Chains A and B, each alone.
Chain A
Amino acid sequence: MARAIAAPVAEVPAAPEVGARGGWLRRRVRSEVVPRIVLVVMCLVFVLPFYWMLITALKTNEELTAYPPTLWPRSPQWANFAAAVEIFPFWRFLQNTATITALTVLGAAISNPIVAYGFSRIPWPGRDKVFFLVLATVFVPFPVLIIALFDIFARLGWINTFLPLVVPFFFGSAFWIFLMRQFFLRIPQEISDAARLDGANELQILFKIIMPQSWPALSAVSLFAGLHAWNDFLGPLIFLQDETTYTLAIGLTFFESQSQYDIKLNLLMAASALVVLPVVVVFLMFQRVFVEGVTLGSMK
């Protein structure tokens, strides 16, 4: 599976459809026409939420109520986007979300490689047993801890600050440690041995030799960490308590749930589109990293 990561995605090995029974046409139908139909239909379904979000965002208030619903806005209201950032404290929510995301990425990018290094590049007795414990922690769902964490953070005065959301990421997270470790294990040990002979200490080896070779893994972990922070709902819901600290996820939900605000669907969709947009952009820019990261995790 190592190959899939080092030289990923590009070409897909042809499915075994060579020779055998059936004519040329039949093979063609089976290997190209049917899969294409399945994929095109599913892609249309998967694009539907984005499409509906955008056209709803562009409708006028009157058009929202049309029955049957219109499939294309009669006259696109781009001003709805401007209105959407006015009706919510959108910029403040965005700033909060961005701050939390940046700190989470920073924490994950620093802590996970260090810990993974200790679990992969230094041989010490009991290492793999302890690593098993790390993996086992994946089986403690976050909601199990929310009651206690809330109480602990309240005693510390951390509630309604970003600390409960970002500080834990500075100590490594099981799954991302696992991803980094998988990657580190594939780097030949001889490289480290040679560096040690040259008098390099472990930190120097990590930062000067291992890390420069590990960009794919590091960027995958950073992206996943960023995605987690940007999309998180339950954490901010519990730990953030007012408009000054709300993230987009919590802010938009609370404002939406109040019908007194009379926030129309078009503005809500416009605001949602603005939240989704950065995710789409980052995904398109780093598509390969995402794909590698997702598949890396499934390989033991």
Chain B
Amino acid sequence: MATQTAAAYPAPRRPPTARRFALGRTERRNLALGLLFISPWIVGFVAFLLYPFIYTIQISFTQYSGFGDSLPIGWANYQQLLRDDLFWTSLYNTLFYTGLAIPVGVVVAMALALAMAQPLPEVPVYRAILYLPSIIPAFALSFVFVALLDPARGIFNQALLALGLPNVNWFGDPGVSKLALVILAQFGAGQAALIFLAGLKGIPQPLYEAAMLDGAGTWRKFLNITLPMMTPVILYDLILGLSQGIQIFTQIFVIFGNDPPGAPANSTLAYVPYLYNNGFRYSQMGYAAALAWVLFLITLVLAVVIFRWSSRWVHYDTD
């Protein structure tokens, strides 16, 4: 991806003549102005992020029902967490879902983007249709999904039967319930396809022309030019998908209900629903806060791992 935009007006390097430790008059004025303009963010950051973040850690060391006084209990919540196999179940389910939904999503979105990159006059129509499910409310899409995949009354299983495949009990069979969520996630592929499409358009044509002179076929061109050039966009999509996948909540809440959470048999118990239920269903605010803080650590670790790993395959130089 081109980086020219960021270079348009970079933050100033201090001119070589300036004194090293003091700011000039203009710089001081600019500093004051700059801080003034970003002050809403500073206030919001402190009030709605930093303070709640620290407060979460504080709650996580107490026993607190959310009502009345909280009782300091040291590391007990964290000790309980390590022993709690539902914590591990919910983490496993979440990572299973994320680990399956994102790669499948990348493949689906890439196929759509490649198809839309062809010179077809009706591409805007496809684009609109494919993008639309990405923006309609998740809860409404989930309602429809329940109707679509209903074993008896849904069209999806009718199609399976017509193809000679067995009737699948999507919402009652712990073996496939997570797959139902992975399928649902693919309806969001249109958004990634748009991002990929923009990426495809950014690949310099001369690269293809040169490859063609070397006699490279379509597949070779895809492997040697398109895919490497697309890696930064794929990374962006992975990060976005990871953050959304790990937070999955609405679809599960709507499709599988919350009574009990994670039905059938804890097979769809994801991390955030488990956190929510500990806080708001079992009145274990302290334990939920510990789960919340661990969620942050997990996100952080996964992000670092992906960034580290990406340095092996993401292709950064453009020209």
Does B associate with A?
Answer: yes
In the complex, what distance in Å separates the CA atom of A77 from the CA atom of B246?
A: 40
Determine if B12 and A4 form an interchain contact, defined as CB atoms under 8 angstroms apart. no
Q: 8 Å CB contacts to B: which residues of A107-131?
A: 111, 114-115, 117-128, 130
Determine if A142 and B247 form an interchain contact, defined as CB atoms under 8 angstroms apart. yes
Determine if B140 and A295 form an interchain contact, defined as CB atoms under 8 angstroms apart. no
Q: 8 Å CB contacts to A: which residues of B51-72?
A: 51-53, 55-56, 59, 66
A255-296 interface bits toward B, Cβ cutoff 8 Å, 1 = contact, 0 = none = 011000000010011001001100110011001001100110
- Report how many residues on chain A are interfacial, defined by Cβ distance under 8 Å: 115
Determine if A233 and B138 form an interchain contact, defined as CB atoms under 8 angstroms apart. yes
Determine if A114 and B2 form an interchain contact, defined as CB atoms under 8 angstroms apart. no
In the complex, what distance in Å separates the CA atom of A50 from the CA atom of B257?
A: 22
In the complex, what distance in Å separates the CA atom of A154 from the CA atom of B67?
A: 10
Determine if B47 and A171 form an interchain contact, defined as CB atoms under 8 angstroms apart. yes
Interface residue? A249 (CB, 8 A): yes
Interface residue? A15 (CB, 8 A): yes
Chain B binding surface SS class: helix
Interface residue? A75 (CB, 8 A): no
In the complex, what distance in Å separates the CA atom of A205 from the CA atom of B276?
A: 46
Determine if B153 and A65 form an interchain contact, defined as CB atoms under 8 angstroms apart. yes
In the complex, what distance in Å separates the CA atom of A111 from the CA atom of B118?
A: 40
Interface residue? B173 (CB, 8 A): no
Cβ-defined partner of A148 (8 Å) among B41, B52, B205, B247: B52
A23-63 interface bits toward B, Cβ cutoff 8 Å, 1 = contact, 0 = none = 00000001110111011001100111110110010000000
A146-184 interface bits toward B, Cβ cutoff 8 Å, 1 = contact, 0 = none = 111111101000000000000010111000010000100
For residue B249, which residues in chain A have a CB less than 8 angstroms away from its CB? 143, 233-234
Q: 8 Å CB contacts to A: which residues of B230-276?
A: 232-233, 236-237, 243, 246-247, 249-250, 253-254, 257, 259, 272, 275-276
In the complex, what distance in Å separates the CA atom of A172 from the CA atom of B9?
A: 22
B305 vs chain A, min Cβ distance (A): 13
Stretch with Cβ within 8 A of B (4 or more), from A81-89, A133-141, A212-220: A133-141
Determine if B40 and A114 form an interchain contact, defined as CB atoms under 8 angstroms apart. yes
Cβ-defined partner of B198 (8 Å) among A4, A126, A233, A272: A4
Determine if B52 and A152 form an interchain contact, defined as CB atoms under 8 angstroms apart. yes
In the complex, what distance in Å separates the CA atom of A272 from the CA atom of B143?
A: 8
A221 vs chain B, min Cβ distance (A): 14
Interface residue? B158 (CB, 8 A): yes
* A124 with B153, Cβ < 8 A, contacts A145-B53, A186-B5 known: no
Interface residue? B299 (CB, 8 A): yes
For residue B160, which residues in chain A have a CB less than 8 angstroms away from its CB? none
Interface residue? A79 (CB, 8 A): no
Nearest 10 A/B pairs, CB to CB: A171-B44, A118-B37, A124-B34, A16-B208, A35-B115, A295-B198, A148-B52, A118-B38, A231-B137, A148-B55
A–B Cβ pairs within 8 angstroms, 6 of them: A2-B2, A39-B120, A49-B141, A123-B34, A145-B56, A234-B276
* Known contacts A31-B118, A294-B195; 9 further A-B pairs (Cβ under 8 A): A16-B212, A32-B120, A111-B44, A124-B31, A126-B31, A144-B56, A147-B56, A147-B275, A275-B137
